[in-house]
Amino acid sequence: MSLSRLLSHWRAESTIAPNVVEWRMIPERAAKYHDFPNELNPAISQALLKLNIRRLYSHQTEVWVQLREGNNPVIVTGTASGKTLAYNLPVLNTLLRNPFSRALYLFPTKALAQDQEKKLSSLVKAIQEFEPPTITESNTQTNYPIPGIPIGVYDGDTLQNHRPGIRSNSRVLLSNPDMLHAGILPHHTKWADFFHELKFIVIDEIHTYRGVFGSHVANVIRRLNRICRHYQSNPQFILTSATIANPI
């Protein structure tokens, strides 16, 4: 059944229609596009073209500009409007430019982190077709540059024997506030290189952090900021949501 027929059915259905206060049709809006930023790494541009992405939406460009100016943007746009690409582009661009830099992505659930890891890995794989990773020096040193953009998921399901390698080698770490609180921050000395080079912290689905739980998460983020200052880093925050009522 098409969406229009389904809506017509609901309007006529005696058990549904009386309980609906208002029917409203929101008209479509023409998309606003911008060309790729001049500073975008050519390998990323080529990968986007291969994925049939030829321009950016205006809000994706705005995020790029805000980050370039040193701000901490909150991306609040509709579902399936390209929020993930809006933060992946500046993050990956920085990681390609600086082989030491790292990024932390926080998601409210393990399932969402796993899903985003697959999407991000596909984009990184496409990028590396145009810019293969190179090793600039031995990986036996402390605070060494890491070739490519290794991605790690660090949560309660991560096997113990995998965790040291993820700590040492991941340049994009996907986790959740609970694991950050219980499994990462208390052991920050093991993450010294990661925190020292941390450039971005992405917090997705920010509408989930409400009430007492939201207050707890806010305090975890305050702890995270203190640890970053201890390791002399000042990461930029990028927050996203499609369903938050009051983003300010």
Note the pTM of the prediction, 2 decimals: 0.88
Residues forming a β-bridge with 203: 106, 239
Domains, the chain:
36-132+147-241 (3.40.50.300)
Q: What is the pLDDT of residue 137?
A: 45
In tens digits, the chain (248 residues) has pLDDT values of 788 888 888 888 878 878 888 888 888 889 999 999 999 999 999 999 999 999 999 999 999 999 999 999 999 998 889 999 999 999 999 999 999 999 999 999 999 999 999 999 999 999 999 987 765 443 444 467 788 899 999 999 999 999 999 999 999 999 999 999 999 999 999 999 999 999 999 999 999 999 999 999 999 999 999 999 999 999 999 999 998 887 77
CA atoms within 13 A on the CB side of 40: 25
Phi, psi dihedral angles at 199 (to 5 degrees)? -105, -30
Which pLDDT value is given to residue 132? 74
Q: Which amino acid is at 236?
A: Q
Taking the C-alpha atoms of residue 232 and residue 226, their distance in angstroms, rounded to an integer, is 10
The bridge status of strand 102-106 relative to strand 198-203 is: parallel
pLDDT of residue 131: 80
Q: What is the pLDDT of residue 227?
A: 98
**What end-to-end distance do the CA atoms of the chain give, in Å?**
39
DSSP type of residue 55: S
Indicate the length of the chain as a whole number.
Answer: 248
Q: What is the three-class DSSP state of 92?
A: helix
Confirm if 151 and 121 have CB atoms less than 8 A apart. Answer: yes
